[in-house]
Amino acid sequence: MAKVFLNPGHDPEYGWTDYYDRGADNESLCLYENTVAAAVGKLVEQYLTAAGCEVKSLQDESLKRICCAANNWGADLFVSIHCNAFNTIAQGTETLTYPTDNEGKKLAECIQRQIVDIFGTVDRGVKTRTDLAVLNGTDMPAVLVELAFIDNNEDAVLLRDRQDDFAKAVARGVTDYLQGA
Ligand SMILES: [Zn+2]
């Protein structure tokens, strides 16, 4: 049974402090990255559990704590869930991996393909990053998926209204990878 560690991005809703990080936002739609990630993450957990995976999920302000939890649990796969933001015009989906993480790249391609197929979002592709703690601090294949751009109104409406479809896409990406797609 594959052990999948999920990390909805940024601080959990209950973690209010002066340094509270709710991620990117769309003020006009009252939409915040941390709550979108939490909602999608919860649904991904349900779908993956139903598909026979063992799932652990942690949304936490400490990236160190997240990496330690995944490593100590002995996760087989790590998936961090985020929303992108740039200039309100950029839109689409991208999935990030660490450059030497070849299995992570395969997992990223499976998740990226599912989201783009389901939504027809702009395919920004699979990209490598060396500076992300959850990618360079985890021992297992790890990806960070940027579902869509929360500051772009067209993407943000999808993030608001179709969280279940995003979750299905991420879960299917994981099961595609596990089946060697
Ligand atoms: Zn983020």
Residues constituting the chain: 181
- Print the domain residue range for 134: 3-178
User: How close is the Cα of 69 to the center of ligand 1, in Å?
Assistant: 19
pLDDT at 17: 66
User: How close is the Cα of 103 to the center of ligand 1, in Å?
Assistant: 22
Q: What is the CATH number of the domain that holds 21?
A: 3.40.630.40
- Which of 11-20, 22-31, 68-77: highest mean pLDDT? 68-77
User: How close is the Cα of 54 to the center of ligand 1, in Å?
Assistant: 24
pLDDT digits (tens, 9 = 90+) for 102-141: 999 999 999 999 999 999 999 999 999 999 999 999 999 9
Count: domains in the chain: 1
Average pLDDT rounded to a whole number, residues 133-162: 98
User: How close is the Cα of 61 to the center of ligand 1, in Å?
Assistant: 12
pLDDT surpasses 70 at 160: yes
User: How close is the Cα of 34 to the center of ligand 1, in Å?
Assistant: 8
Alpha-carbon distance values, 111 to 13, 68, 81, 126, 166 (Å): 26, 24, 11, 10, 10
Using a CB cutoff of 5 Å, list residues around ligand 1, an ion.
9, 23, 82
User: How close is the Cα of 53 to the center of ligand 1, in Å?
Assistant: 25
> For the whole model, what pTM was predicted?
0.96
User: How close is the Cα of 33 to the center of ligand 1, in Å?
Assistant: 7
Least confident of 10-19, 72-81, 155-164, 167-176: 10-19
